[in-house]
Structure 1
Amino acid sequence: MFQLVLKIYELRHQGNGYMLPEIKRFLEKKKYNECALLAGHLGLQDHFTIDEVAVPLILQNKLNLLETYLRGNSGQQMLVVQFLDRMCEKGYNINNLVSSMSVPDVKMSHLQKKSISKLATRLAKLYEIPNDLIPNIVTARGLGALRFLLYKRYIENSMAAGSWEDMVENAVGDNETLQLELVEQLQWYNDAKSAAKWANFYKIPDEKLSHPVIEERKRLAEGPTSAPAAVGGEESWEDELMSVDGMDAYYYKLNLDPSSIQLVDTKEKYHECISRLSRPGLTIGVDSEWKPSFGNTTQRIALMQFATSDQIFLLDMITLHSLLHKSDWFLLANALFCNEEMIKLGYGFDSDLKMVVKTYPFLKEPLTHLKRTVDLEKLAAKVIDKAINLMPDTVGDSDDEGLEDKDSGVNVKFQAVEQRGLSELVRQCFGKPLNKGEQMSDWERRPLRNTQIQYAALDAFVLLEVYERLKETAKREKMEIDVEPPVTVKWSKDSKLDRMKAKAKNYRPPKSTFTPKPETTAYLGSEMEPGQFRVVVDSMLQGLGRQLRNCGVDVQILNYDEDHQKAVQAAMQENRIVLSSGTPYQTICSKIGAERCYNVDNTLPAKEQIVGVLQHFKVKVKKEDILSRCQVCNSDNFLQIPSKDVLRMSEKAENMKRSHGAPPRDSWDEHMLTTYQINSRNTSFVKTGVDIRIDTIPQKIFSIVDSFYICVKCGKIFWEGPHMASACEQFAHVLNL
């Protein structure tokens, strides 16, 4: 009601100070509720000190009212958080504050150090206060993080030593208070040896240490110095390695040779990775990692993993961040996540996508057009709900079996940590859980440890194995389940914290307005083949563009960073039809005429959009049109070469790379030059100089196919395989419309 009155009488405006006497009368009567509501909604907070309104609200534990009062006033927000920071200082006397304020109905039970610290931390995050202005809150955050890490290591035993040391070092940093707290806490956990090691690491003087730690420090100094033990863990590295060998009997392992794992940390490797992953028919496991923040740093994605059946790519997002441009990142969204030609698997995909968009906000719009992206968490819930056993070959396994390695000769027992999430799903599928000891790691530190690399690779690769097991189970149990459930865009919605931050800044998002969809002008032309149909597709319809190209249509697809004016130019200069939607359609239509445009219904999936376009323009697609164009560059000019010649070209390129030189030209080189206009000595076309992407062919393919098709324009290589039948099946709905 109060908000309605403010709006009707337009009370929130410049010069509304005439309301101040009324607010101050409430203040004199210690009616802090009324005072806070009026001053906050009228934007008059700067006329009051924090001691007059904000501090009494804190003492009375009226925190919702406090946030209402502070809304939209960054200056008051800063002052209040800094006041809370002082309250977090060691030795601060809350009783002195209460007795000096004369505030009625003080809630002493909510003014304990822990409660104030939690409030201070939350408001500092909400109001985005810089760390250097709130040193006590930063220390409180670090103390909470440190205690959490000690619990994970010593009570849960769920963190690997290397990960734990990295995270402790991050949490403690240069803060001397936290350094001393770490040493004291380690002694409390009865680990004086580790306490002494960390004391040495931080060069803490003896006078600040307890007697047991000083004695342990002396023993360390007297010991051998040639091979010091690792800081932060009681076991030596050798002991830890022995434990890792023993753990193989309990935890699920990567079923792929480590040589198949490739770290992608250059622009060239990135584009090669995208090229390999964008082959039609692939199923790809996707995962990502980021460093836990404990509230003191902004999180960003640090590593992305993409796994196929024979290779795993680890994208070093920290290194690539400074090497790639927006157009390169758009390629990741368009060629992989929004590509209907391959399946992408994830587990808890929402959190991965949220972190991608948090790091690269400009990818939010293109990623809302996800295609064939399967969240195994949701699929597994459906399958497990109906299946009795995901492992049909196992009966009556004991829950405790495998906790002891009986075959390796290493006498090691492991604490049975409760499995959750993907680890538990893997256990249900294959009998062993994942080792999540590296999950909470400093994923931004370079170089990555080998254990981190193995962990990250397995997390992506195991998704492929789990997906196959779920499909097998669904088929065996004759379940009527969609194994490619439709994706949602819940991840794209603002988080609760984002909404609260917007509210704190008094931001109101504009209300959407409904615009009636304009009708597309009827097409009066005759029937045509796909190759005769030339279109330019707006950036918001890239999925439709790729579908049309796969059906043989001549398609130019705009990138997300290209202006709609480019579509207008292509329509006028190259005689193309523009496919667009919404406001951009109206703008383009006004420039080139309705007969040169088509208004696509962007609420439909691309599979249905393509039917509407082909029917409207009377395009007749035949089986031979499917995949008749290069999916990369749109060319329909291919060179068909026998498999034996392509194999020899591949072997020659590999030999030249190893020998760092070119052997003398032979008769086969002349054959390739005269027959195909290919320079086999540098695997490129003679006329254009375009490199032939010979290294993208898996070795096993040479023995399966008879010939290859090389795109003359961009050098990409294609071949007929099972994906061809799959593509024809995928586009059966548009054949002979």
Structure 2
Amino acid sequence: MNKLLWRQFSKQVIRSKQLLVQRNNQQEIQDYFRQLKIQSAKQRKDFEDIALQLLSKEQDKCKAYFYFLEISSDITLKTLLQEIFTKAFLELNDFGNKQLALQKWQLIPLDFIEEYMKGFDIKPADIQDAQVKILTLLQNKKPLQAMKLIMIFKDQLNMSIFIDKFIQLDAVQDFSKVCITSPNLLKDFLIKLTQSDKRHHQKFATELIRKYNLKKEDYPQLIKIQNRQAIDRTYFPKIDEPYERVEERLQGYPYMLCHVIDKLLENNKVNEAYSVAVRQDLNDQYNLNGVLIENPLLKYDGFGITEQVCYQEDPSGFIQFSDFNIHEDQIQFIDSVEKLVLIKDIILNAQITGFDTEFCHYFDEFAIGGVAIMQISTETNVYIIDIFNLREKLELLQFLNNYFASNKIKIGHSVWNDFTVMAQNMNLDQTVEPKNIVDLTFLYNEVFPENKNNVSLANQVYQLFGKKLSKKECFSNWQRRPLRKCQLHYGAMDAYICIAVYLKLNELKQLDIVQLPQLQQQHQTQQKQKKIQQIYKGDHLRYDLQFQKIIDDKQNMKFLVDAMLKKLATFLRNLGIDAEYNEKNDHQTIEQQAIAEQRLIITRDKKLYEKPQLKAPCFLLSDNLNTEQQFDEILKELQFQIHEDKILSRCVKCNFDHVIQISPKTAQQYLDFKNNDSFGQIKVFWQCEKCLQVYWEGNQFKNSIQRFTKVAKNQDDDKQ
């Protein structure tokens, strides 16, 4: 529409009162609206002036306002026009016709609804059909707009009827904001979330349960899901691996054993499934037939390595107590205060001890595992202390505080994590500084400085003794009582081998045992200072300085969005920003992808952000932000560049940056033209060359252009 016609029509509309109110001129106004193009701030300002003049000349401004809202309802620029007329009407401050305002409230743009209600003195209770309007918005996949109304009318709504819709629309973070004000609603919401088959919904439910200190027992479905996922992750990385250890570990947990049977059946392991079902008295549920296969972990036991005792493997390739002339009677299980009193002085007076711990293995994400047993070895004896059952005993607490505070040398492998968990789990005296703890990794590097990447305990044992260290019992059930003899052998060996490795290293290079703790402390201090110098970490942003260029590239910054932030990934892609989406929720996978593709991770996962060994650049979002607020927070911190010419240039579905124009004939191969008449009126389509997703210029496209252009302009305004 040329400028002359614009001016002529504007004057005609402003001067003609009849044109505004008579229905026989509605078509003329609608035709004008259809041709209208508002593509710049100046054009918008011009039309805002026109709208204000149109309404100000009317005696019944309220009636005229609703007239313009109604006739613009099927116009491409509907949202923008209604926003402009609403802004003009509110500016005129004419709120006399409350009855009409109540009748027409659903026409009001939601961003202005509160100001509108305040102007007409409309109370939320005065509006009876808010629930219907909200359900309509959800039906039309507009959860953010629905949330605006929910926050206004929440006191008079039946919130429970919205839960399923918000979960289906993947808008759970938005809906959670209203749920937290009502314990019953929050519980209903969490139960529905745990029933979702989407992993990130389950993870979000877990976050909320933790955050608000809720009882995990109220959400049994979530616990079952977490148990099953943990079983799959821990015991079934490869279905061809022996199933025996998972059966041994899960004795006494029938519903978890049922999951194991189901997994075996899924992979055509019928005889194995039948065997577990029969042994665990679960075959009444399955009625399976097959050949009974023994579980050697349950059938055989003895003081020795599991490979030999249970699987009849040749033991000559494994390190054993017989190699050190240690016998079974030199291994003691300390499961009472009386036994602890008898041996505590022996341990505290030993010049050198080796120590290790085994943890309680739980399968839900709420359980605090803690230490099940602690093994302490002298050069001639090993003592296995039943931490699981003695942890409440004052005598045990006093002994452990004395042990770690003593000046005697204590040798272990990767011991600081064990000590930290024990200190937290058992409430050890935090004022007592653990003394003279020496890590075998440090000792090994002192003797073999050229082998710094080969320091696992198993590798050290193999290099020093030419034999393997048995690891079959690593994932055993360390809470069970009594422990199997194979478990006792395994646990005792993990402590004694620390002494044996030290003695062997000392043969190769005379180690000053008195000076070792001090040397190790100096080494740790140097490494810590070096690490601090290499890592930048703020409240929201952290990165290893080797990835500084990722942070500095403001023109072409690339992001990796985690599984909880899919809507943010879509938002960024609409702006033409390179944003990949990782749905696996696995820290290692996310970091590897970020480093390989030189991307900045965006997450709400505080565990990932605080992970000490994380090197990939990472941005931690604040809680309880909607998508646009999340974007604003990132932009404020990073100050990266948005290019207006790249808006909607990237495939929203797959993130590919090459979208080509195709003909309507080609588009018919991918779209259902028969059941959508509007496709026939569209002349231009675009298609992603990678995933073949088709796009076209409809109302949604135009609204998106306006929305994201506005976002880009706001960025430029903020910089000025």
Q: Higher relative contact order at CA 8 Å, sep ≥6: structure 1 or structure 2?
A: 1
After TM superposition, the score normalised by the length of structure 1 is 0.45
Q: Normalized per residue, which structure has more helix?
A: 2
Q: How high is the TM-score relative to the length of structure 2?
A: 0.46
